[in-house]
């Protein structure tokens, strides 16, 4: 049996605003209600991000999406249109650049609760 990641819980101060923003940037559907207290973002046919509202301190978490170049370009245009600062390095300053050093395109941005989002076209974590 192979193992597939089905869903992740994403802590947020305002789950609806956070879910809506990510869904709009990625160009995917979302819902104000899901199973339990979650606001789900349907990132793909096999991955749901369940936004959950927290009052406790929220740790900075890192989420990475691998997409095709055409999808990357479309999402980056939506990030730019939303006026969201982005950068080419995981811990770098906002430089409004794309990293192409790993054989593809990589970009990082943070959402209001501090989570770090990464989008890439070629995985550097494992061979193709």
- For CA atoms 107, 7, 5, 57, the dihedral sign is positive
Which one, of 25, 17, 112, 7, lies nearest residue 60 by Cα? 112
* Surface-to-core class of residue 69, CB atoms within 10 Å of its CB (0-12 exposed, 13-18 middle, 19+ buried): exposed
CATH code for position 33:
3.30.720.120
Asked if 41 and 103 sit in the same domain, the reply is no
CATH code for position 119:
3.10.180.10
* Surface-to-core class of residue 72, CB atoms within 10 Å of its CB (0-12 exposed, 13-18 middle, 19+ buried): buried
pLDDT in tens, 86-97: 999 999 899 999
Asked if 2 and 49 sit in the same domain, the reply is yes
| Furthest-apart CA atoms within the chain: distance in Å | 43
Instruction: Write down the pTM of the prediction.
Output: 0.88
* Surface-to-core class of residue 42, CB atoms within 10 Å of its CB (0-12 exposed, 13-18 middle, 19+ buried): middle
pLDDT in tens, 35-79: 889 999 999 999 999 999 999 998 999 999 999 999 999 999 999
Q: Which of 37, 55, 73 is the last residue of a domain?
A: 55
CA distances to 27, 28, 78, 126 from 22, rounded to whole Å, are: 8, 8, 10, 25
pLDDT score recorded for residue 5: 83
pLDDT, averaged across the chain: 92
Of all helices (H) and strands (E), which one includes residue 11? Answer: strand 7-12
Q: Which domain holds residue 20?
A: 1-55
- Number of domains composing the chain: 2
Asked if 48 and 89 sit in the same domain, the reply is no
């Amino acid at each position: 049996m192979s193992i597939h990641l089905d869903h992740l819980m994403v802590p947020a101060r305002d789950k609806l605003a956070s879910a809506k923003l990510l869904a709009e940037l990625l160009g995917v559907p979302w819902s104000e209600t899901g199973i339990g207290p979650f606001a789900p973002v349907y990132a793909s046919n096999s991955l749901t991000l369940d936004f959950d509202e927290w009052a406790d301190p929220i740790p900075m978490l890192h989420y990475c999406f691998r997409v095709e170049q055409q999808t990357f370009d479309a999402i980056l245009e939506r990030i730019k249109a939303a006026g969201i600062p982005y950068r080419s390095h995981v811990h770098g300053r906002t430089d409004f650049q794309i990293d192409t050093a790993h054989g593809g395109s990589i970009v990082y941005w943070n959402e209001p609760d501090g989570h770090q989002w990464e989008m890439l076209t070629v995985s550097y974590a494992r061979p193709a």
